Amino acid sequence: MLGAALSAVLWGGEGFGAAAGDAPGGGSGGSVVPEVSFWVDPESGAARQATEWRRTGRTADALLMERISTRPQAEWLAGSAPRAAVAARTTAAVREGRTAVLVAYYIPHRDCGSYSGGGAWSATGYREWVDEFAAGLGDRGAYVIVEPDAVAQSVDGCGRVVPKERYALLAYAVDRFKRQANTRVYLDAGNPAWHPDTSRLVEPLKQSGIARADGFALNVSNFQTDAVSSAYGDKLSAALGGKHFVIDSSRNGNGPHSGTDSWCNPPGRALGVAPTTVTGAPLIDAYLWVKRPGESDGTCRGGPAAGQWWPSYALELARNARS
């Protein structure tokens, strides 16, 4: 359902889309989460591309690319032995007085074997991987998004997934990450277009440890608008005892594509609200760029393999963003 993406300038200056203080979302007052400065990867695909285009005289394109390269984006941990990578990202963030955003993406049979298939070979292997990830966090902390698609996919009935086992593994990951100081944990809950009926997600999320998480994540690697995601999140939160949530706003500036395969490298999309914890909505803890803009969803519409950098698509997202 999504492409696995792998990830020092704080978001600032002139933005695009809605300004931080104008971020969509119902309710009055702001989130209870204090303002957080998220870490920006200086070696991201967008950063390297902007540098290359400046070097070769493509200044206008470089300026557009900096709409991506200067914004905080999540680092996806999708391979074996994550400890060193997690430690490196969180250490770099702490040195700058910032917070890393990380994605744990290694559940067995992730993506049901589609574009981003893979993950741990066994339940035991996954628990060991989670332990390594947590050890890499130390006490530096991070925002951790737990296993995009895993719950929503299980509700759909992926043939190779045993829901009870998967939910137990997710609960293990939530518990283990929450044992690390300064770490906020958000369990992925899909997007409004995938399961419009939020009641189908409630019990699976409970079995997956949502009570012990800081909240849930919505719209990861998808294109639903912030307003639609916010309304959906409010409804799901009400069924989960008031849990907070975060929204992936990385590519939803123009909303979803109306054609076929609307989730996979759809044309005409745009960057959304820049990452911020100043959301103006009491239940929304942050707008995050969980999916790294410009990294492919998979080999659809001429794209490279899932997670690979695709400069022409990145440029389109930046060009279409509201200035």
pLDDT tens digit sequence for 59-97: 999 999 999 999 999 999 999 999 999 999 999 999 999
Q: Read off the DSSP letter of residue 284.
A: E
pLDDT of residue 19: 32
Structure tokens that stand for 318 in this block: 């930046």
Task: Tell me the CA end-to-end span of the chain in Å, nearest whole number.
Answer: 30
pLDDT of residue 323: 67
Q: Which domains does the chain have, with CATH numbers?
A: 20-320 (3.20.20.40)
pLDDT tens digit sequence for 251-284: 999 999 999 999 999 999 999 999 999 999 999 9
Is the pLDDT assigned to residue 4 strictly greater than 50?
no
234 is an active site residue: no
Is the pLDDT assigned to residue 153 strictly greater than 60?
yes
The residue type found at 138 is: G
Is the pLDDT assigned to residue 228 strictly greater than 60?
yes
Catalytic residue among 41, 149, 188, 226: 149
pLDDT tens digit sequence for 122-147: 999 999 999 999 999 999 999 999 99
Catalytic residue among 111, 214, 234, 285: 111
Is the pLDDT assigned to residue 23 strictly greater than 70?
no
139 is an active site residue: no
Residue 168, phi then psi, degrees to nearest 5: -65, -40
149 is an active site residue: yes
pLDDT of residue 113: 58
Q: Report the candidate in 317, 293, 319, 247 with the shortest Cα–Cα distance to residue 5.
A: 293
Number of other residues whose CB lies within 10 A of the CB of residue 121? 11
Query: What mean pLDDT do residues 172-180 have?
Result: 98
Is the pLDDT assigned to residue 121 strictly greater than 80?
yes
Structure tokens that stand for 264 in this block: 């996979």
Catalytic residue among 188, 226, 234, 297: 297
Query: Which residue is it, tokens 């639609």?
Result: 228
